[in-house]
Structure 1
Amino acid sequence: MRTTSTSDASGSTSDSIGSIPTALPGGTWTLGDREVTRFGYGAMQLAGPWVMGPPADHDGALAVLRAVVRAGITHIDTSDAYGPRVTNDLIREALHPYPRSLFIATKVGANRDARGGWPTARRPEDLRRQVQDNLQALGVDVLDLVNMRMGDANGPQDGSIAESFETLAQLQQDGLIRHLGVSNVTAEQVAEARGIAPIVCVQNMYNLAVRHDDDLIDDLARDGIAYVPFFPLGGFTPLQSEALSAVAQRLSATPMAVALSWLLQRSANVLLIPGTKSVTHLRENISGAATVLSAQDVAELDTIGR
């Protein structure tokens, strides 16, 4: 079974699964059989430049992860490909043994090359090895959630997900994975995966300016499936929009705060995983996501991606 503890990494008493904090923006969502905070944390930025190598500030990275748990965040997103293995090792060093409430999602389907590329690795033997690598690095016997990453750096690509997802479904049957999800996928691939095994989330690129998954989000919400947008603030090119700047100025908020708040208000099944390597920035993201948007604000913002 998964290693758990009643104390968090700072030594204070950890919350049980039944008493998850609700003070974070957006409240909670039931992800599979677990209640998690809709405001989560993405660990990708803790690795070095371009998600390669160790962080420049190792102790600072550990401090961010511990601040995440102290803030009451119960959903952390990672991958053994980040670094590679860097973020998983940091998570284990900072937080293991893990609080019972902590839910760690990872993903498989790609390796890293010496130039920082993301070559696909979706053969059954590749996926089995990646699952084992994640288990070992995180120091657990069972992974809470594994997302099957499809597509490439340019986004989702058409094609069958069957062989890859069937491999993960078998690993789930073997007791190595609790829940399954898909990432960087088309709506057709989502449907194909759901025909093989239940999924609890879809993780695609989505933000104020990238709205191609609007219909998919609504469909998933009706079925109780989470949608987890990556690059919620635009990724390596931050969101820029006159409408976004205008709303932010009117609310005396930053554009990034408004963008995060809009995502939480977009649909109850949207879970946020903004990343940062700074404790100060983490706190800013949390407070920013709590920004209250009026119907007029939302209407103006909705013009950006449509």
Structure 2
Amino acid sequence: MITNATGTAVQPAAESGIFRIGGDLPVHRLGYGTMRLPGPGVWGEPTDRAEAVRVLRRAVELGVTFIDTADSYGPFTAEQLIREALHPYADDVVIATKGGLTRQGPGEWRPVGRPEYLRQQVELSLRHLGLERIDLYQLHRIDPQVPLADQLGALAELRDAGKIRHIGLSEVSAAELEQARAITEIASVQNMYNLAERKSEDVLDYAEANGIGFIPWFPIATGQLARPGGPLDTVAKEYDATPSQLALAWLLRRSPALLPIPGTSSVAHVEENIGAARIRLSDSAYQALVDAV
């Protein structure tokens, strides 16, 4: 635990605020995503396993209570690293994982949503994470070859059996999200969304209106906005912050339903990213970034 001069614990992630997943599972909104921990192409062992363990422990030290992973990261490498670094888990730490994407090699991903496969993957994730119940289990992709009711039905059965607490989706449209909610309760959605890429605005608005957590993956992509003299670079200098920190601060202000999960394999970058929770954008700075795209 980190303390200041008075001995008080310093956990900047706590300053990002709280969101209750499914209405009953509180997490600090600024979390950590583990996709960067395995090797190149999200395949195999990390380049530096000891550093990967340090990254996870450091994130929790800094107040992160929401860690996002997937069985396909490695595959299974990220889940196993989480267990190595953090098990037994602190009472307030929530591990969210995903299933439904298979791996054929570095950079290769194919959806499989057959109910028997999803049931198998939940059991494997429970084992690899060292859990009796997964707090948030997300369908990594909808398999177009399998009826959605069958995919979500399998997860709902596992929830009823006590192996999953809440169900989430990943990379879906607002229409698909609404269709899914007609089948079972959906607690979260995980789509690509960041300052430079906002194609999922309608999904975010739908999620916020319905109490659904929106987990933006690739949250610190900034594109040309961070170019020298560009809008993000200008605002970052005003706040004595990095462009990545400003991109995260913008997300935290954009909607109370947003749960950014910046990922990295570096302790220094974890510290930098989580420092974004302390930034409070002015109305003018926020609007300047809104208008920049």
| TM-score normalised according to structure 1 size | 0.86
Aligned partner (choices 29, 35, 41) of residue 19 of structure 2 = 29
* Cα separation, 1, equivalents of 2:145 and 2:234: 38
Q: What is the CA distance between 1:25 and its match in structure 2?
A: 3.3
- State whether residues 205 and 231 of structure 1, in contact with CA within 8 Å, keep that contact through their aligned partners in structure 2: yes
Residue 62 (structure 2) pairs with residue 62 (structure 1): no
SS at match of 1:282: helix
Residue 268 (structure 2) pairs with residue 280 (structure 1): yes
Summarize the alignment of residues 145-160 of structure 1 with structure 2, pairs less than 5 Å apart.
Answer: 145-150=136-141
- State whether residues 160 and 189 of structure 1, in contact with CA within 8 Å, keep that contact through their aligned partners in structure 2: no
- Larger deviation, residues 64-73 vs 104-113: 64-73
| TM-score normalised according to structure 2 size | 0.89
Whichever residue aligns with residue 29 of structure 1, its letter is: F
RMSD: 2.0
Whichever residue aligns with residue 35 of structure 2, its letter is: M
What residue number does 1:199 align with?
Answer: 186
What residue number does 1:16 align with?
Answer: none
Tell me the percent identity: 44
What residue number does 1:240 align with?
Answer: 224
* Cα separation, 1, equivalents of 2:289 and 2:275: 19
Residue 115 (structure 2) pairs with residue 124 (structure 1): yes
Residue 214 (structure 2) pairs with residue 227 (structure 1): yes
* Cα separation, 1, equivalents of 2:208 and 2:132: 30
* Cα separation, 2, equivalents of 1:115 and 1:49: 7
Whichever residue aligns with residue 185 of structure 2, its letter is: P
- State whether residues 38 and 74 of structure 2, in contact with CA within 8 Å, keep that contact through their aligned partners in structure 1: yes
What residue number does 2:289 align with?
Answer: 301
Residue 167 (structure 2) pairs with residue 180 (structure 1): yes
* Cα separation, 1, equivalents of 2:96 and 2:67: 6
Q: What is the CA distance between 1:114 and its match in structure 2?
A: 2.6
- Residue 150 to residue 295, structure 1, CA distance change in 2 (3 Å): same
- Residue 68 to residue 296, structure 1, CA distance change in 2 (3 Å): same
SS at match of 1:24: helix
* Cα separation, 2, equivalents of 1:199 and 1:62: 31
Q: What is the CA distance between 1:23 and its match in structure 2?
A: 5.8
Residue 78 (structure 2) pairs with residue 90 (structure 1): no
Gaps of 5+ in 2: 2-10
What residue number does 1:15 align with?
Answer: none
Q: What is the CA distance between 1:249 and its match in structure 2?
A: 2.7
- State whether residues 219 and 248 of structure 2, in contact with CA within 8 Å, keep that contact through their aligned partners in structure 1: yes
Equivalenced residue count is: 279
Aligned partner (choices 128, 144, 150) of residue 137 of structure 1 = 128
- State whether residues 261 and 293 of structure 1, in contact with CA within 8 Å, keep that contact through their aligned partners in structure 2: yes
Q: What is the CA distance between 1:110 and its match in structure 2?
A: 0.4
* Cα separation, 1, equivalents of 2:146 and 2:258: 26
- State whether residues 104 and 143 of structure 1, in contact with CA within 8 Å, keep that contact through their aligned partners in structure 2: yes
* Cα separation, 1, equivalents of 2:251 and 2:94: 21
SS at match of 1:56: coil
- State whether residues 158 and 186 of structure 1, in contact with CA within 8 Å, keep that contact through their aligned partners in structure 2: no
- Residue 103 to residue 115, structure 1, CA distance change in 2 (3 Å): closer
Residue 244 (structure 2) pairs with residue 253 (structure 1): no
- Residue 128 to residue 214, structure 1, CA distance change in 2 (3 Å): same
* Cα separation, 2, equivalents of 1:148 and 1:139: 20
Alpha-carbon deviations, 1:46-98, whole Å to 9, x = none?
Answer: 11111111111111111111111211211000111100110111111111111
Q: What is the CA distance between 1:151 and its match in structure 2?
A: 5.7
Aligned partner (choices 70, 75, 94) of residue 79 of structure 1 = 70
Alpha-carbon deviations, 1:190-236, whole Å to 9, x = none?
Answer: 001111111111110001111122232222222221111000012xx
Residue 158 (structure 2) pairs with residue 168 (structure 1): no
SS at match of 1:197: coil
- Larger deviation, residues 56-65 vs 238-247: 238-247
